[in-house]
Chains A and B, each alone.
Chain A
């Protein structure tokens, strides 16, 4: 087992974003590897940004656990393309955490900035705080977003959560913002709290809203009541802007009439 502790150093120009996609468990398997990060247009060594402590040995990514300490709220792309092992982030994390991730676990004890788990293929992300916009979404111009894996957000999510979702599962324990699951194609999006305008232009997949869906879109057809885990919900099919092959379950909904 290898434990890597990365403690963020105090920074000059602390608001400039740092891109650190080199931080994945697999990369620490190679003792010869140089770790470069970018702060603005300057390429720096990992040690310019972090105090690095490495203990133990590992043969596979699964045996590597990385802990990020300190203020990492401006550090982007941590865990990008991660395929195994574990990353624990003790406080907040910057944008694009877990992009393209295909395996392993990322645990965020604070909040996550936007594009958490963008285009994720597999693995698991748990965010104990809130996630900003576009959690589990896609990239500009691309038809499909997240395709597999699980994102679980214990707090609230911002707007466009699960945009173009095409597989996998997103669970939001708090509220979601506007337009969760917009252009969803497949996969499952669960919102334990409230949200507005879920699943516009839905082409497939499933969305469950256990609070109130505000400004519910009028192009979903009410298919009557049913139950999920003993909770009475209303099932909707839609979106009838296209073929109506998706399903939304909601406990309450309100329309903008």
Chain B
């Protein structure tokens, strides 16, 4: 199904902002809020994983029901997960379209990755010392 993806700050994401290696941050930023009726239509239960894709990339997130959203819109907290599908195009303004991206969502049995795993996939190296 096609959706408009909107990303933004949540208080939990904010709490973990100086502690991004934590499980809490990984949990929070890999959530995808969806209207319950859309979930129904997707055939996905809450806490099941979904695959979000567009021309930019793809990412596995976990579905969270949210009645505050209009149908057809999903909300993902700021973070490396949602950035997987955000284009770097700024329309000459310096600012990417963090609030409005068209995405395709399907159910998936794939596992979510942690932020560090996503970065390792991009070539990052975790510092394990200290």
A and B bind: yes
Smallest beta-carbon distance B101→chain A, Å: 15
Smallest beta-carbon distance B36→chain A, Å: 26
Q: Within the assembled complex, what's the spacing in Å between the Cα atoms of A178 and B91?
A: 9
State how many residues of chain B have any CB contact under 8 Å with chain A.
2
Beta-carbon contacts of B18-56 to A below 8 Å, as 1s and 0s?
000000000000000000000000000000000000000
A168 interfacial contact with B, CB 8 Å: no
B92 interfacial contact with A, CB 8 Å: yes
Residues on B with beta carbons closer than 8 Å to the beta carbon of A115: 92
Residue of B nearest to A132 (CB): B92
Residues on A with beta carbons closer than 8 Å to the beta carbon of B92: 114-115, 132-134, 158-160
A177 interfacial contact with B, CB 8 Å: yes
Q: Within the assembled complex, what's the spacing in Å between the Cα atoms of A115 and B92?
A: 9
Beta-carbon contacts of B91-119 to A below 8 Å, as 1s and 0s?
11000000000000000000000000000
Residue of A nearest to B92 (CB): A133
Smallest beta-carbon distance B85→chain A, Å: 20
Residue of A nearest to B90 (CB): A133
Beta-carbon contacts of A188-212 to B below 8 Å, as 1s and 0s?
0000000000000000000000000
Residues on A with beta carbons closer than 8 Å to the beta carbon of B91: 133, 158-160, 177-178
Q: Within the assembled complex, what's the spacing in Å between the Cα atoms of A32 and B91?
A: 41
Smallest beta-carbon distance B93→chain A, Å: 8
Q: Within the assembled complex, what's the spacing in Å between the Cα atoms of A178 and B89?
A: 13
Residue of B nearest to A163 (CB): B92
Q: Within the assembled complex, what's the spacing in Å between the Cα atoms of A115 and B91?
A: 11
Q: Within the assembled complex, what's the spacing in Å between the Cα atoms of A160 and B93?
A: 10
Residues on B with beta carbons closer than 8 Å to the beta carbon of A160: 91-92
Q: Within the assembled complex, what's the spacing in Å between the Cα atoms of A158 and B91?
A: 8
Residue of B nearest to A159 (CB): B91
Q: Within the assembled complex, what's the spacing in Å between the Cα atoms of A177 and B92?
A: 12
Q: Within the assembled complex, what's the spacing in Å between the Cα atoms of A6 and B5?
A: 46
Which positions 227-252 of chain A face chain B at CB distance < 8 Å?
Answer: none
Residues on B with beta carbons closer than 8 Å to the beta carbon of A133: 91-92
Smallest beta-carbon distance B100→chain A, Å: 11
Please, could you name 10 A-B residue pairs with CB atoms under 8 Å apart, sorted by A?
A: A114-B92, A115-B92, A132-B92, A133-B91, A133-B92, A134-B92, A159-B91, A159-B92, A177-B91, A178-B91
Q: B residues engaging A (CB < 8 A)? A: 91-92
Other A-B contacts than A133-B91, A134-B92, A177-B91, 5 sampled, CB-CB below 8 A, are A114-B92, A115-B92, A132-B92, A133-B92, A160-B92
Q: A residues engaging B (CB < 8 A)? A: 114-115, 132-134, 158-160, 177-178
Closest 3 CB pairs of A and B: A133-B92, A159-B91, A114-B92
